[in-house]
Structure 1
Amino acid sequence: MSANREEIHNNLIDGPDDDYSGPELRYSVLQNPGKHRKRFCQEPFKVATACLTAFCLILLLILVVTGLHAGKTSSSGQDSSSSAAAAHQQTGSINVKALTAELQTAKKEKSELEEKKSELEKEKSELEKKKSELEKEKSELQKELLQLKDKITKLEATPGSRITPAPTTSPCPQNWKHFNGSCYFISVTTRSWTDSQTYCKRYGGHLAIILTAEEQTFIWDLLPRGYWNAYWFGISDEKVEDDWHWVDGTKLVGGFWEDGEPNNHINEDCGYMIKTDVLTRVAIRSWYDAPCYMSLPWICEKPASS
């Protein structure tokens, strides 16, 4: 029985396929059987450790390769970013240069405009100075003209004046026109309606009293044409509005008013007639009313001498 156990034990230790056998191994197994059991138990752990180590190496290799690829990608991205930044910087530099050029051009144009403005202001000042001088000359000439007209008027109304010799057969003074027993004088200077009446009285007459269409036409034909040639004659409604009377106190009957006249537009109390460049106007529709203070030429009338 003991011999059979020893044989089985030896078979387990040595095995049928074990190439190495001998008294030393058998002795060692017999002397320390637990050590060999421990060795057989540690073999799977060594395999597992080797596999784990290999797996770690593979994983480390994968991490290294991934890192290198990421580095290349990052480097490529940085290169792209650098290129984009350089392009943007170049574009910005071009824009700055363009804006600088535009700014310089604008400054130059502003300078030219300011220079032109200065020149125009200088010209304006000179023109205003010339205008002032011309207005002064105009005022002086107008004053001289009025004085000359007043002298002419006095000479025209003075008997024996040499300005226009009158026919010896005329019953009217020189520069007065005869019609149907009356003499008419057309002034070349201007006065208010009241001053015109005073002038006519000074020479033995009055502002013209016009009673017939023939008389109206005769006087109207004596007047020169112009843009708005207007002449006082002897009618007014100063005492009662729209109650027109002649300067001798007689009441107006009818008249030769323009359509829509008299209208008393701005306190118009004195009558005047016009003769304009409009050829369609006629003598029998030429009366208007106007403020008596206006300065206009006038028409005097007085009886013809026998």
Structure 2
Amino acid sequence: MSEYNTLLVRELHQLKGNHSSLMTEFTLVQMHYANLSNSNEMLQTRYENASAANQHLHVEMSQLQQEKKSLKMERDHLNQTLEVIFQFSVFPVDDYCPVTDHAAQDRKCSGHCQKGWVYYQSSCYLFLYYQSYLNWKNWAEGDADCTARGSHLVTIDTADEQAFINNHTKYYYDEWHGYFIGLSNIQDKWQWVNGSELKGGYWTTGRPIIQYGSCVASMPSTDPMKSWKNVECYMKNRWICEMEAAIWPN
């Protein structure tokens, strides 16, 4: 019994030692867990700060992109306006930048076109409504007149523009007299004054056969999509000029 008791006491001491070691390890695990928890909280805080900073940068980037887009648009408008200005040997400043305060001679540049011209979709149009036959011109003379005004005979690119042109023309003599546009026969091809070749068209009775000395006039029509007519270039007609509009920055 004495030996058995001794053995039990020895085992009890060993168990106490094991328990103490386990408690020490458990304490170390708890400390490690606490450290991990603290590290996790720090990482979570850093992640939230990084996310907030990233969102802020995203907002700033969007704002910068919008500013860049606005600046590019303003630059393009200024370049277009400079092109308009450079077409004049003497710029008609009163038409584009009228005096708003005569006492202070303050001006505000807001006009897109000169007086008498009609603004439409970033272009200005001049419809020459001369009543007298003496003022009408053949196609080449009309083209030269537009050039002298810093413009060109109108080029029509879309159905909307064609409808706009038709809405501003009116019958004035007979069914053969209309308004010269910048389209003529160049080397057996219908070609615009800007050098581009015609695609499609808004003919009264289908696309005509090209003949020598053929030019195109827009006839007033109830159907704006059917108003072009092949006429002799030497005919005397009214004509339409077109130039880029001045787009001023806000």
TM-score, normalization: structure 1?
0.41
Unaligned runs of 5+ residues in structure 2 are 1-91, 96-108
2:184 counterpart of 1:236: yes
How far the C-alpha of 1:233 sits from its partner, in A, is 0.3
Distance, in Å, in 1 between the alignment partners of 2:161 and 2:206 is: 23
Amino acid corresponding to residue 191 of structure 2 in structure 1 = H
Amino acid corresponding to residue 204 of structure 2 in structure 1 = E
Amino acid corresponding to residue 275 of structure 1 in structure 2 = P
Give the structure 2 partner of residue 290 of structure 1: 231
How far the C-alpha of 1:195 sits from its partner, in A, is 0.6
Unaligned runs of 5+ residues in structure 1 are 1-157, 162-167
Amino acid corresponding to residue 145 of structure 2 in structure 1 = Y
Deviations 1:178-227 (Å, cap 9, x if unpaired)? Answer: 11110000012410100100000111110000010000111111112344
**Contact 1:170–1:178 (CA under 8 A) maintained in structure 2:** no
- Seen in structure 2, the aligned counterparts of structure 1 residues 235 and 256 have a Cα distance that, compared at 3 Å, is same
- Seen in structure 2, the aligned counterparts of structure 1 residues 268 and 261 have a Cα distance that, compared at 3 Å, is farther
**Within 5 Å, which residues of 2 pair with 1:49-198?**
169-187=110-128, 188=130, 189-198=135-144
Distance, in Å, in 1 between the alignment partners of 2:208 and 2:191 is: 13
Distance, in Å, in 2 between the alignment partners of 1:297 and 1:231 is: 5
Deviations 1:5-24 (Å, cap 9, x if unpaired)? Answer: xxxxxxxxxxxxxxxxxxxx
Q: Helix, strand or coil for the counterpart of 2:143?
A: helix
Deviations 1:90-131 (Å, cap 9, x if unpaired)? Answer: xxxxxxxxxxxxxxxxxxxxxxxxxxxxxxxxxxxxxxxxxx
Q: Which residue, 231, 251, 256 being the options, matches 2:197?
A: 251
Distance, in Å, in 1 between the alignment partners of 2:181 and 2:93 is: 23
Distance, in Å, in 2 between the alignment partners of 1:159 and 1:296 is: 31
Give the structure 2 partner of residue 104 of structure 1: none
Give the structure 1 partner of residue 157 of structure 2: 211
**Contact 1:231–1:272 (CA under 8 A) maintained in structure 2:** yes
How far the C-alpha of 1:261 sits from its partner, in A, is 4.0
Give the structure 2 partner of residue 273 of structure 1: 218
Give the structure 2 partner of residue 305 of structure 1: 246
**Within 5 Å, which residues of 2 pair with 1:41-56?**
none
Q: Helix, strand or coil for the counterpart of 1:284?
A: coil
Distance, in Å, in 2 between the alignment partners of 1:218 and 1:254 is: 18
How far the C-alpha of 1:170 sits from its partner, in A, is 3.4
Q: Helix, strand or coil for the counterpart of 1:196?
A: helix
Amino acid corresponding to residue 190 of structure 1 in structure 2 = W
Higher helix share: 1
Structure scoring higher RCO (CA < 8 A, sep ≥ 6) equals: 2
Distance, in Å, in 2 between the alignment partners of 1:159 and 1:216 is: 30
How far the C-alpha of 1:263 sits from its partner, in A, is 3.9
**Contact 1:159–1:173 (CA under 8 A) maintained in structure 2:** no
Give the structure 1 partner of residue 30 of structure 2: none
Distance, in Å, in 2 between the alignment partners of 1:287 and 1:262 is: 10
Give the structure 1 partner of residue 85 of structure 2: none
Distance, in Å, in 2 between the alignment partners of 1:159 and 1:300 is: 20
Amino acid corresponding to residue 236 of structure 1 in structure 2 = S
Q: Helix, strand or coil for the counterpart of 1:191?
A: coil
Distance, in Å, in 1 between the alignment partners of 2:93 and 2:207 is: 38
TM-score, normalization: structure 2?
0.50
Distance, in Å, in 2 between the alignment partners of 1:300 and 1:289 is: 19
- Seen in structure 2, the aligned counterparts of structure 1 residues 199 and 213 have a Cα distance that, compared at 3 Å, is same
How far the C-alpha of 1:268 sits from its partner, in A, is 4.8
- Seen in structure 2, the aligned counterparts of structure 1 residues 159 and 221 have a Cα distance that, compared at 3 Å, is farther
Which entry has the higher C-alpha Rg, 1 or 2?
1
Aligned residues: 136
**Contact 2:183–2:192 (CA under 8 A) maintained in structure 1:** yes
Amino acid corresponding to residue 151 of structure 2 in structure 1 = G
Distance, in Å, in 1 between the alignment partners of 2:225 and 2:139 is: 21
